[in-house]
Every structure is written in structure tokens, then in C-alpha cells.
Chains A and B, each alone.
Chain A
Amino acid sequence: MAQARAVVRRAVLVGVREAFGLPALTLTASYLAFGSLIRASGLGLLPGLATTFGMWALPGQVALVELYGLGASLGVIAATVALTNARFLPMTVVLMPHLRAPGRPRWLYYAAAQLIAVTSWVLAMQRTPALAEEERLPYFLGLSLVLWGGCFVGTAAGYVLAGGLPHALSLGLVFLNPLYFMLIFALDLRERSRLLALMAGAVVGPLLHLLSPDWGLLATGFVAGSFAFGVDRVMARRQASRATAGRHG
């Protein structure tokens, strides 16, 4: 028992260590921009922090604040946020097998799901296969709790600093968010189906957004994801048949 607890503690610390440094720094910096948006929208700091607590999904938070500012109805805001954040469904489905270990209560996974965001997801997808089963969830919790914490700091600091940063720098910081996401995906492109899906999604995403800002993102997932899946299968089948042909010939 004591040994199991030591394993958990060590895994949590590995996650914490990996989050501190660049991942937490970039997320904090990205949330600086959100904090100043909160201020500019005339919302208080507390509602801003509450969105970071309750949602923790930057594009959805920005959409919520902007729509609220425009006076949109509750239904429109909820529907837009739901569409913007629908990515969490496939992300969670794919990550969960990476976190599971026998003998844990189910509610733990439901609680951990709140901590799934782009950065914690990509890093956990890349790191957990190298960890022992019982270390994976603790690692993920350590990692994402630090990242989450950084976002509260960023929201508050952005609120306080709003308007104090040179405009050029604050533009650069807003750009950091998509840029950092792009770079952490580029860290690991070894798996062919992933690479295909990323490339197809990057091409199709902006085009479908032009067609429909509401449904474009979901359609991108279906169209580009299915395309990548199909191409990957065809390539795998060709490789397999070439391998058998090689053996027979």
C-alpha cells in the first residue's frame, strides 16, 4: 500500500515537473490575453476566473465572453460553446484508454475529464504510453493541475495588466496560443494516421470555417478525419500486400 502510494506520488511529481516550465508558461501567457479581454468587456475578474474554472477551453471562453458582450441569448451562447467545444468528445474517447488502470472508481475518470484541454491532452497522449498503467492517471493529474493553475494566474494577471502591455506585445501573446498548439503537435508526427489527419485538418479547417463558422469545425473533424482514416487504411493494406508478395516471390 505504502509502495503503491509512493508510485502515485512519484508519477504526480513527474507530471508537475513536466508542466512547470514551457507548457505552464505558454498557457499562462495565453490566458493573459483572455484576462485583458475580460477587463475590456467590462466583466469582473470573478466571472472571468469562473469560466477558466468551469470551462477551461480558451476558444469557448472567448466565444462566451464576446457573445455575452453582444447581448446574445443564453440559448445561442450555450449552443455556440457546445459546438466550439465538441472536440472534447473524440479527444476524451481517445485519451481515456491511456489513463485507465484496474481497481479505480469510475468517478475519478469523470473528474479527470474536466482537466482535458489541448495542451494536457497532447502531452499526455505523447507521454503516457511510456509510463506504467498505474502511473498514467497520477501523471496526468499532476500535469494538468499545474497547467490549470497557470491559467488562473494568467487570467488574473491579464485582468490586472490589461492595457498596460504594449499593444504589439499583446498581439504577439494572442498569437502564442495557436502557435504553441501547432508546435506541440509537431513534436510527434511519427504515426502516419495522425500526420495525415493533422495535415488534412489544417487544410480543410479554414475553408469549412468560411462556409459555416458554426459547423465548420465539426465538419472538419468528420471530413478530414475520415479522409485520413481511409488513406491510412489503404496505405496499410498496400504495405501488407506488398509484404506478402515479397514473401511469396
Chain B
Amino acid sequence: MAERSIWLVILAGAAATYLWRGLGVALAGRIDPGDAVFRWTGCVAYALLAGLIARMIVLPLGELQETALWVRLAAAALALAAFYATRKNILIAAATGVGAVALFAWLGGV
């Protein structure tokens, strides 16, 4: 592919992304926050994001595919355990999870 076309691709990617944000602003003005439609939209948003995060952990794309599923699940579980053990300290929890993946990878146990 020609080098210059990357800019066209980025422009298309930006438009394909902003489309949803802009449409969201336009629609938000028409939906009453007290409405059932609004509450349903909220459920859809949270479900989508949880689905995305779970997919990124269970079925990652790219480099993380080198690590075993059980390593990623164990790291996520350890991070959650650290999170609740430290009264929701995200720094400690995130460091625990990242450290677990890095350690397993370093030990070659991936």
C-alpha cells in the first residue's frame, strides 16, 4: 500500500469513531434521562464495556496471545483479590496484575 494512503486511512478511522460520539450527543438531547429507553441504553453501555474488557483478557489480540489463558485469568484474579484486600487501592491491584503477567512471562511459564 502506498505510504500516503495512511493519512486517508487515519481520516476514515477518525470519522468512523467520531460518528458514534457525535450521534450520541445528538440523540442524548432527545432522550429523557428518566426514560426506560435511557436506562436500557445505560445497561447496553455497561454490558458492551464489560464484554470488551473480558474479551481483551480472555481472547486478546496481538502480543498478549503469547501468554496462556490461565496466566491472564490468574493475574486478573490476583489483581481483584489485591483490590479488595487493600480497600480498593487501584495502584496496588494494577501492579499486582501486571507484575503477575510479567513474572510468568519472565519465568517462561507463558
Measured CB to CB, the residues of A under 8 A from B are: 22, 26, 33, 37, 43, 47, 50-51, 53-57, 59-64, 66, 68, 71, 74, 77-79, 81-82, 85-97, 106, 109-110, 113-114, 116, 118, 166-187, 193-194, 196-206, 208-210, 216-218, 220-229, 232
Q: Contacts A94-B41, A167-B105, A225-B43; is A198 near B50 (CB within 8 Å)?
A: yes
Assuming the contacts A178-B57, A210-B59, asked whether A93 and B27 have C-beta atoms less than 8 A apart, the reply is yes
Which residues of chain B from 1 to 55 have any CB-CB distance to chain A below 8 Å in the complex? 1, 5-25, 27-29, 31, 33, 38-55
Asked if B47 and A92 make an inter-chain contact with CB atoms under 8 angstroms apart, the answer reads no
Do residues B16 and A96 form an inter-chain contact, with CB atoms below 8 A?
no
Contact A87 B48, beta carbon cutoff 8 Å: yes
For chain B, the count of residues having a C-beta within 8 Å of the partner chain is 76
Chain B interface (Cβ within 8 Å of chain A)? 1, 5-25, 27-29, 31, 33, 38-64, 66-67, 72, 75-76, 79-80, 83, 88, 90-91, 93-94, 97-99, 101-103, 105-106, 110
A77 lies within 8 A of B53 (CB): no
Q: How far is the CA of A167 from the CA of B106 in the complex (A)?
A: 8
Contact A47 B10 (CB under 8 A): yes
Asked whether B41 lies within 8 Å of A74 as measured between CB atoms, the reply is no
Shortest B29–chain A CB gap in Å is: 8
Interface centre among B33, B47, B60 (most CB of A within 10 A): B47
A226 contacts which chain B residues (CB < 8 A)? 40, 43-44
Nearest Cβ in chain B — how far from A124, in angstroms?
Answer: 13
| Chain A residues, CB < 8 A from B10 | 47, 50-51, 54-55, 64
Per DSSP, are chain A's interface residues mostly helix, strand or loop, or mixed? helix
Q: How far is the CB of A86 from chain B (nearest CB, A)?
A: 6
Contact assessment for B16 and A33 in the assembled complex, using a CB-CB cutoff below 8 Å: no
Partner pick for A179 among B19, B50, B67, B98, CB 8 A cutoff:
B98
Return B48 CB to nearest CB of chain A, in Å.
4
Closest to A90 in B: B45
Q: Report B-chain residues with C-beta under 8 Å of the C-beta of A186.
A: 80, 83, 88
Known: A197-B50, A200-B47, A201-B49. A183 touches B94 (CB 8 A): yes
Determine the chain A residues whose CB is within 8 A of the CB of B8 once the complex forms: 74
Besides A54-B13, A90-B42, A228-B47, 17 other A-B contacts (C-beta < 8 A): A57-B17, A81-B17, A82-B16, A94-B38, A94-B41, A96-B28, A97-B28, A97-B38, A113-B21, A169-B102, A181-B49, A197-B44, A197-B46, A201-B46, A201-B48, A204-B47, A226-B44
